[in-house]
Homo-oligomer: A and B are copies of this chain.
């Protein structure tokens, strides 16, 4: 089931550094691309940062519409995640990467955005225009205005991948078609660290 995530906890979706699918739509066109370079930027109001290269078709849709979504893919759609990152919708052969690679889409709740079916988290973002960052660094900032997650792996503001099938684990891109899936949880202990031998 897909459930809303409180805006105060939206950053938790990205906190562990997953690769994302960036989606946007404008003027009857929609697109999806993969991006390994994104991060939370603020808690309240929640903001995110993502790098969108000048060569991408998605970037134009974001600039024209003033909105983008970050969708968090999982192992089950690793092949499509790689595929949409390998080709550009600027090439007429790849004009609709959703249908080409078997990715379904559903409408955002707050913004006019296509969200990717089969992902485990979604952040709907309104672009915060920063022309210098966009031009000099390909860096785009968005304010998160709605967030959603798959309740099988996210609830009460926390990921709990251990409770669900491994196919729902987030993807973390390495290179050359290789991803790392997120792994097991561990609870760190400050008291244990405080008992470490003091160094000179």
Q: Closest Cβ of chain B: how far from A12's Cβ, in Å?
A: 6
Q: A79-B192, A102-B197, A182-B180 are in contact. Are A158 and B137 (CB under 8 A)?
A: no
How many angstroms between the C-alpha atoms of A137 and B15 in the bound complex?
A: 17
Residue of B whose beta carbon sits closest to that of A36: B15
A121: chain B residues at CB < 8 Å are: none
Asked if residues B199 and A174 are in contact (CB atoms below 8 Å), the reply is no
Asked if residues A180 and B183 are in contact (CB atoms below 8 Å), the reply is yes
Residues 7-21 of A at the B interface (beta carbon under 8 Å): 12, 15-19
Q: Which of A25-33, A41-49, A57-65, A144-152 contacts B (4 or more CB under 8 A)?
A: A41-49
A135 CB within 8 Å of chain B = no
Q: Closest Cβ of chain B: how far from A15's Cβ, in Å?
A: 5
A200 CB within 8 Å of chain B = yes
Asked if residues B183 and A183 are in contact (CB atoms below 8 Å), the reply is yes
Q: List 22 A-B contacts (CB under 8 A).
A: A12-B174, A15-B173, A16-B172, A17-B19, A17-B172, A39-B51, A41-B51, A42-B137, A79-B189, A80-B193, A81-B188, A82-B190, A82-B193, A98-B199, A99-B198, A101-B194, A132-B132, A158-B176, A159-B180, A161-B180, A172-B182, A179-B186
Asked if residues A103 and B190 are in contact (CB atoms below 8 Å), the reply is no
Partner of A16, one of B49, B75, B180: B180
Q: A15-B36, A79-B192 are in contact. Are A183 and B181 (CB under 8 A)?
A: yes
A100 CB within 8 Å of chain B = yes
A177 CB within 8 Å of chain B = yes
Asked if residues B182 and A83 are in contact (CB atoms below 8 Å), the reply is no
How many angstroms between the C-alpha atoms of A81 and B100 in the bound complex?
A: 43
Asked if residues A177 and B182 are in contact (CB atoms below 8 Å), the reply is no
